[in-house]
Amino acid sequence: MKTLTLGVLGSGKGSNFDAILHAIQFENLPAKIGVVISDVETAAILDIARNHNLPAIFHPPGKFKTKLEPEHEQSLVTQLQAHHVDLVVLAGYMRVLKEPMLAAFSKRIINIHPSLLPKFPGLRAWEQALHSGDTETGCTVHFVDAGVDAGPVIAQSKVPIFPDDTAATLHQRIQIAEHTLYPAVIRQFAEGKIGG
């Protein structure tokens, strides 16, 4: 079986990346990290990569807050291709991707979102769920398309919402579920059960 090369994009603390690394190191996930790229120079996800002697790149995003300038997005494609990335894994990457990335990695970009999509796309999805009165929420891994948290769903994991939950306790419970779901989905890609 070919080892799947991952390109991980993140803007934050990198707990999902950490879970993927753990699965590679200790659970025989047949994948390797080609590169970790962040649009935030100080993001902890880059420190995690560097601590594991993995390529870690700060990729300046340009002037926009939630997307990349086209030439910046094209240089992101170039960086990922230079590291022979098969699958782009968004792990807390806070920018919408557009044509250069979507064309270069068609059906090969996935994201994890902290709700049961299509419910609660966008920011702070766990707070949206908490305030909705629902008794369960969860997390979703989906293909990335031009929408926000909108591409086809690959897998979901449910978590309960308890009456005494706060935003923090619910978010923490969702993240624990994410850390199992994301490596499991990547394993399906690596084993050829998704993609091709």
**Which residues sit at the interface with ligand GRF, rule CB under 6 A?**
10, 12-16, 91-92, 112-114, 139, 175, 178
So which residues are the catalytic ones? Answer: 113
Q: Which is nearer to ligand GRF, 123 or 146 (CB)?
A: 123
Considering the complex, what minimum distance in angstroms separates the CB of residue 174 from ligand GRF? 7
Max alpha carbon distance in the chain (Å)? Answer: 49
Nearest alpha carbon to residue 36 among 56, 64, 53, 63: 56
Question: Which residue number places its CB atom closest to ligand GRF?
Answer: 92
Nearest-angstrom CA–CA distance, 75 and 77: 5
Q: Which is nearer to ligand GRF, 50 or 84 (CB)?
A: 50
**Which value, in Å, is the radius of gyration of the alpha carbons in the chain?**
16
Q: Which is nearer to ligand GRF, 16 or 157 (CB)?
A: 16
CA distances from 114 to 49, 67, 156, 162, 176 (A): 23, 20, 10, 16, 11
CA distances from 71 to 77, 85, 109, 144 (A): 10, 19, 19, 20
Considering the complex, what minimum distance in angstroms separates the CB of residue 84 from ligand GRF? 23
Nearest-angstrom CA–CA distance, 152 and 83: 26
Q: Which is nearer to ligand GRF, 74 or 176 (CB)?
A: 176
